[in-house]
């Protein structure tokens, strides 16, 4: 497996696991923070710029669509981060508040917390159990 896939799997996996555990550890704080995102544009813009930078970085170095399920998950994660960042930057605050309200975060909170846990566990497991490819295949 290419070294970039292994590295990004480890990085994304660990970050997603931490995010999922944080969501489970303080539900009220996360719900309060998400509900404020539609109200105050400043943190939303910062989040959008960060997502665009990190998503674009992943997409630029790892845009693999035909190398199997594991690399595809890394690629799709990069694209999802990038597209969510672009959306945050260009969608008006009132529309963003409507999207947040329509997502029923309180009702489906544990589903939303399970997504980064499952994807993070999968990517971490694959990334930390993999060995880089032979010389010439590692890039």
pLDDT exceeds cutoff 60 at 134: no
Which pLDDT tens digit goes with each residue over 8-48?
999 999 999 999 999 999 999 988 887 777 677 788 889 89
- Which residue in this structure is represented by tokens 């999922």? 20
* pTM for the structure as a whole: 0.84
Instruction: Pick 1 or 13 by higher pLDDT.
Output: 13
Under a CB-based contact definition with an 8 Å cutoff, are residues 47 and 88 in contact?
yes
Which pLDDT tens digit goes with each residue over 90-103?
988 788 778 878 88
Q: Where are the domains of the chain?
A: 3-126
Which pLDDT tens digit goes with each residue over 46-103?
989 999 999 999 999 999 998 889 999 999 999 999 999 999 899 887 887 788 788 8
| Terminal alpha carbon distance of the chain | 9
Q: Is the Cα torsion angle 99, 116, 29, 26 positive or negative in sign?
A: positive
DSSP string, the chain: --HHHHHHHHHHHHHHHHHHHHHHH-HHHHHHHHHHHTT-HHHHHHHHHHHHHHHHHHHHH---SSS-HHHHHHHHHHHHHHHHHHHHHHS-HHHHHHHHHHTTTTTTHHHHHHHHHHHHHHHHHHHHH--PPSTTT--
**What pLDDT, on a 0 to 100 scale, did the predictor assign at position 92?**
84
């Amino acid at each position: 497996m290419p070294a970039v896939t292994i590295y990004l799997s480890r990085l994304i996996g660990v970050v997603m696991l931490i995010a999922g555990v944080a969501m489970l550890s303080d539900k009220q704080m996360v719900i309060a923070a998400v509900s404020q995102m539609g109200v105050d544009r400043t943190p939303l813009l910062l989040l959008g710029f960060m997502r665009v930078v990190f998503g674009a970085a992943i997409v630029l170095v790892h845009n693999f669509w035909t190398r199997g399920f594991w690399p595809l998950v890394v690629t799709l994660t990069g694209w999802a981060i990038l597209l969510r960042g672009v959306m945050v930057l260009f969608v008006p605050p009132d529309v963003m508040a409507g999207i947040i309200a329509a997502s029923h975060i309180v009702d489906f909170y544990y589903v939303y917390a399970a997504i980064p846990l499952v994807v993070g566990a999968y990517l971490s497991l694959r990334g930390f159990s993999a060995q880089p490819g032979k010389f010439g295949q590692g890039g």
